[in-house]
Structure 1
Amino acid sequence: MRHFTVFLFMILTALPVAAQTQVPQSRGEITMSFAPVVRQTAPAVVNIYAQRVVAEKTTPFANDPFFSEMFRNFGHVQPRVQNSLGSGVIVSEDGLVVSNYHVVGQATQIRVVLNDRREFDAAVLLADEEADLALLRLKGAKDLPALAFRASDTVEVGDLVLAIGNPFGIGQTVSSGIVSGLARSGLSIGGGRGLFIQTDAAINPGNSGGALVDMSGRLVGINTAILSRSGGSNGIGFAIPADLVARFVEQAEQGEKRFLRPWAGVSAQAVDAALAEALGLDLPRGVVLAELHSDSPFRKAGFEIGDVVLEIDGEPVNTPQELLFRLSAKGIGETVKVGYLHKGRERSAKVALVAPPETPPRDPVKIGGRSILEGLTVVNINPAVAQEVGLSAEMPGVLVTEPGRVGSRVGLKPGDVLLRINDKEIDDTADVAKAVRDGGRTWTIEYLRNGRRSVLRFRV
């Protein structure tokens, strides 16, 4: 019996330490609760109730697929109040709140309700539809809880995150998940176009503008939309990265009335497998420069058409949207180190981030008098105008900003690029004014819309 006891003792002492059982030392270790993070972050997430007045035409043909188009200018204009519901995130103690453009961007009345049930009226300081961001100022607010930003380049796939918002208007709700993807681009999400963080934390209608936070309580991104066929959360949600949000807030605090992005002066396309083989790359990566404006900071840094941008400040760039995001997250006035491929050899260069130049001047012209195109308003296209409306860096010509009553009726729209009027080539706004003065009863207007050339012909 003694020999058996000694043998058993030798076996037990030889067991690895890792196999020993450790008693949990706290309630948190037993429950693995997110409650401490929620207590820290939830007070900085708010509910937003917004209203806007929209003008609607009442017509008996509104629901008819054929006559609705034929009689689109028929009927009476009737104002209608449109309500929207969303969320927001407090980012400063004195009452700055970030939300989505599609929640509050065009609102005429905004009411913000805090987690502790306090209510404030709010006004929009800065809004940008393309970024799908809007910044609000709460009137009379002070000493509010605010979230700190987490640098976007430190976020990794697999990180635990919480989505906090007001889904379906039922009240503040928290859902958990992970970061399931980074640098999602090529999508038009929630009204915005750009680079997104993907998460499987449940995001539903009403969560828009809410917070995506990490386990340290830092703001990873602003929840903006879901990918869904049913309208409910299917585990694919998207958030605007915190780096872009931080630049947005910074510009608003500096008094900017429009979100300014650095101007690259380039057009680029992603490198696919075929391009990678032609360029001598081992894998598809980077974006190849297809156009370079004569004043582009990339051209001034020595880049040429056909060069492949691989990274910015050590971070990869694989889509045009990612290129724009990397530059926008740095901001105007900064300098970035760009790694690129030139004729098969990898190089690097410093590129200064500048605002888009206003050359040539816009020289806006509004057609007045008794002209048939009265009310038509046009501007010269320059890099600043091209960036605002999403045109090619090298696009010349004249842009329609307001078609006027007759122009709208015959088919012109804001954003059209005028090429010719009555066989007269249009190079600047002065050409438009002269062509309209010389016009007769028969009109021919040639223009570009979404890259497609079209012609309008009508007689007055």
Structure 2
Amino acid sequence: MKPTKKKRLALDLLRAQPAERPDPADRPHPANIFVDVIERVKPIIVAIETDRERQLPFGPFGPFFLPFFLPEDDGPPLGRSFGSGFIIHPRGYILTNQHIIDRAGEIRVRQGAFVRPARLVWQDVRRDLAVLKVSAPRPLPAAVLGSSDAARVGEWVIAIGNPLGLENTVTVGVISAKHRSVRTGQHDYDDVIQTDAAINPGNSGGPLFNLYGQVIGMNAAIVRGSQSIGFAIAIDSIKPRIAAYLPR
């Protein structure tokens, strides 16, 4: 009995199918615009751990603004705090927030399985900036600093850091606003980028990237009790103050 026309068509379609489906890795999904950027920049990001004397978690502004690292619970006189940072010079200079290393007795920089002691070489308390130094046997990969002035509201951004001690946590969002001014008990943030990329305790000091993998800001503060309102210090306001620690 000869196959019907419908059966012949089905057989022809089966013969036309490849023996195996193509590997998705050979054809990356066109919407995965963040993956390559993240893989490229991860080596410049570090987690920062400090053993320090605890202090009151809120400044005179109460709980409205909360620097990410501050503990919210009572505890013993000494506590371990977590933060983030990123390498700005191959010789081991790292940029972070000053509040992360404030009153720290010991500072450690973690990158995967590697843990190195770090020392403070410069800080600006009012602007919440600090530069650390670690020793390394070979030059380290360093961040490419972009232009926060050139960034536009609505542009995609990527935040990577160490929230709650979870290294290399990635979140994405957009620039919600630019040139905000934020005041906390100790710090004045004169030029910050507002973003809805999720930022949590421990992200402080970590980089905010554009889709070219350039750092356009450093995550610094959140509005306590809000949803999707975070602030990053604009990198163009930081560059003149850390010029001595950048490659020449």
- What TM bracket, shorter-length normalisation? 0.7 to 0.9
Note closer, same or farther for the CA distance 1:90–1:55 as it changes in structure 2 (3 Å cut).
Answer: closer
Q: 2:183 maps to which residue?
A: 188
Equivalences for 1:269-280 in 2 at 5 Å?
Answer: none
User: Contact 1:122/1:138 (CA < 8 Å) preserved in 2?
Assistant: yes
1:123 aligns with 2:119: yes
TM-score, length-scaled by structure 1: 0.41
> Structure 1 stretches (4+) deviating beyond 6 angstroms?
none
Equivalences for 1:129-208 in 2 at 5 Å?
Answer: 129-140=125-136, 142-185=138-181, 187-189=182-184, 191-193=186-188, 194-208=190-204
Q: 2:93 maps to which residue?
A: 96
User: Contact 1:157/1:181 (CA < 8 Å) preserved in 2?
Assistant: yes
Amino acid at match of 1:163: A
Note closer, same or farther for the CA distance 1:141–1:241 as it changes in structure 2 (3 Å cut).
Answer: farther
Equivalences for 1:439-454 in 2 at 5 Å?
Answer: none
Displacement of 1:119: 1.3
Amino acid at match of 1:96: Y
Displacement of 1:237: 0.6
- Distance in 2 (CA, whole Å) between partners of 1:141 and 1:53 is 32
Partner of 1:38, secondary structure, is: helix
- Distance in 1 (CA, whole Å) between partners of 2:211 and 2:161 is 17
Note closer, same or farther for the CA distance 1:54–1:227 as it changes in structure 2 (3 Å cut).
Answer: closer
- Distance in 1 (CA, whole Å) between partners of 2:235 and 2:137 is 23
Displacement of 1:171: 2.4
Equivalences for 1:6-21 in 2 at 5 Å?
Answer: none
Note closer, same or farther for the CA distance 1:216–1:191 as it changes in structure 2 (3 Å cut).
Answer: farther
- Distance in 2 (CA, whole Å) between partners of 1:87 and 1:118 is 15
Amino acid at match of 2:46: V
Q: 1:218 maps to which residue?
A: 214
Q: 2:67 maps to which residue?
A: none
Displacement of 1:121: 0.5
Q: 1:109 maps to which residue?
A: 106
Q: 1:243 maps to which residue?
A: 236
Displacement of 1:54: 6.3
- Distance in 1 (CA, whole Å) between partners of 2:102 and 2:137 is 21
Partner of 2:49, secondary structure, is: strand
Amino acid at match of 1:228: R
Displacement of 1:190: 8.2
- Distance in 2 (CA, whole Å) between partners of 1:97 and 1:28 is 33
Q: 1:84 maps to which residue?
A: 81
User: Contact 2:53/2:103 (CA < 8 Å) preserved in 1?
Assistant: no
What is the aligned-residue identity percentage? 37
Equivalences for 1:61-80 in 2 at 5 Å?
Answer: 80=77
Amino acid at match of 2:35: A
- Distance in 2 (CA, whole Å) between partners of 1:30 and 1:55 is 48
- Distance in 2 (CA, whole Å) between partners of 1:159 and 1:119 is 35
Provide the aligned C-alpha RMSD in A: 2.6
Partner of 2:113, secondary structure, is: coil
Which structure's CA Rg is the greater one?
1
Amino acid at match of 2:99: H
- Distance in 2 (CA, whole Å) between partners of 1:216 and 1:190 is 35
Amino acid at match of 1:206: G
Q: 2:41 maps to which residue?
A: 41
Displacement of 1:189: 4.6
Unaligned runs of 5+ in 1: 1-25, 57-78, 254-460
Displacement of 1:133: 0.8
Amino acid at match of 1:192: H
Equivalenced residues, count: 204
Amino acid at match of 2:236: D
TM-score, length-scaled by structure 2: 0.75
Higher helix fraction (1 or 2): 1
User: Contact 1:105/1:134 (CA < 8 Å) preserved in 2?
Assistant: no
- Distance in 2 (CA, whole Å) between partners of 1:55 and 1:183 is 30
Displacement of 1:49: 0.3
1:27 aligns with 2:24: no
Equivalences for 1:273-312 in 2 at 5 Å?
Answer: none
TM-superposition CA deviations, 1:324-380 (whole Å, max 9, x none): xxxxxxxxxxxxxxxxxxxxxxxxxxxxxxxxxxxxxxxxxxxxxxxxxxxxxxxxx
Which structure is higher in RCO with an 8 Å CA cutoff and minimum separation 6?
A: 2
Note closer, same or farther for the CA distance 1:86–1:141 as it changes in structure 2 (3 Å cut).
Answer: farther
Unaligned runs of 5+ in 2: 1-25, 57-75
User: Contact 1:94/1:141 (CA < 8 Å) preserved in 2?
Assistant: no
Equivalences for 1:287-436 in 2 at 5 Å?
Answer: none
Note closer, same or farther for the CA distance 1:237–1:54 as it changes in structure 2 (3 Å cut).
Answer: closer
